[in-house]
């Protein structure tokens, strides 16, 4: 039943006559999930609402992805000039497929009866984080799209930048808490540092001549790197630079390759 509702939502997005209808459809989807989650079995009660929060962030991001991505017809895809162009024109359908698959798997991971918490908690935690990261990519894409396309021109660009930075920081703090980091003064300082850095990054990437999807992907990449470094810094062991240096150098190399050979510049 949930898959059928998701399919109707995904293919109904492109047929909605106004933003009011779009947001009504989106909120209706969240209410249905709330009902499902309320009556489903969870090994721990508090995971129930964490699951919903991950779903809400994920669906918000994918909703923005689908709204701001052109949907090409199958004929246009079939007559593309090469594989790369066909892949580019298929982006909307790929995103729709990701939306359907990820939501299905998030419920599929749930046990039907009592199981060992060690068997359930870690895979579900990691899957919820992946869902959240995907949602953040869509939120970043939405921010850049609102600024570049002037969709809501009544709202100042700085409002979108500040709002996106606050959301990204709040979600980062939530996931530090999910990984059992203590909430103290250092935690608060890390949040403030995260807010300042991510605001600067969103401001910078929004002004680069990149497509909105690429901008969202780059921002969530940087968001994750910043999140994990500060997470290690908040842990009792701290950042072990000998281990993290290879990870950061590899990411820098891939980042440069992506910008030069993969990213499409406006």
Q: What is the pLDDT of residue 244?
A: 83
Q: Which of 145, 141, 147 is nearest to 159 (CA)?
A: 147
Count of C-beta atoms within a 10 Å radius of residue 105: 12
Instruction: Supply 31's token pair.
Output: 């209410």
Q: What is the pLDDT of residue 66?
A: 82
pLDDT beneath 50, residues of the chain: 73-87
Averaged pLDDT of the chain: 82
Q: Determine the 3-state secondary structure of 183 from DSSP.
A: coil
Q: Which of 6, 133, 110 is nearest to 57 (CA)?
A: 133
For the CA atoms of 14, 16, 20, 21, what is the dihedral angle to 10 degrees? -120
Per-residue model confidence as pLDDT tens digits over 234-256: 988 888 888 888 888 999 898 88
Alpha helices in 41-90 (DSSP H): 45-67, 74-78, 83-89
Alpha helices in 150-240 (DSSP H): 157-178, 185-206, 212-234
Read off φ and ψ for residue 150, nearest 5 degrees: 55, 45
Q: What is the pLDDT of residue 6?
A: 65
Which residues, 6 or more positions from 71, have their beta carbon under 8 angstroms from its beta carbon? 14, 92, 93
């Amino acid at each position: 039943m949930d898959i059928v509702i998701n399919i109707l939502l995904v293919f109904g997005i492109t047929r909605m006559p106004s933003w009011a209808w779009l947001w009504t459809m989106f909120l209706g989807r969240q209410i249905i999930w709330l009902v499902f989650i309320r009556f489903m079995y969870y090994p721990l009660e508090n995971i129930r609402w964490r699951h919903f929060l991950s779903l809400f962030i994920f669906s918000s991001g994918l909703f923005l992805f689908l709204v701001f991505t052109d949907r090409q017809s199958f004929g246009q895809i079939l007559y593309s000039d090469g594989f790369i162009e066909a892949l580019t024109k298929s982006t909307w359908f790929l995103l729709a497929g990701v939306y359907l698959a990820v939501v299905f798997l998030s419920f599929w991971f749930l046990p039907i009866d009592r199981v060992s918490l060690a068997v359930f908690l870690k895979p579900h935690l990691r899957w919820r984080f992946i869902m959240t990261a995907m949602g953040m990519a869509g939120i970043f894409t939405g921010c850049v799209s609102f600024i570049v396309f002037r969709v809501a021109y009544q709202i100042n660009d700085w409002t979108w930048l500040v709002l996106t930075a606050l959301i990204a920081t709040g979600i980062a703090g939530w996931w530090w808490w999910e990984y059992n980091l203590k909430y103290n003064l250092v935690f608060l300082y890390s949040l403030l540092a995260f807010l300042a850095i991510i605001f600067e990054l969103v401001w910078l990437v929004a002004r680069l001549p990149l497509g909105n999807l690429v901008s969202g992907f780059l921002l969530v990449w940087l968001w994750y790197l910043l999140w994990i470094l500060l997470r290690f810094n908040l842990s009792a062991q701290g950042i072990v630079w000998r281990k993290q240096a290879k990870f950061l150098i590899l990411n820098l190399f891939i980042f440069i390759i992506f910008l030069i050979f993969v990213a499409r510049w406006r």
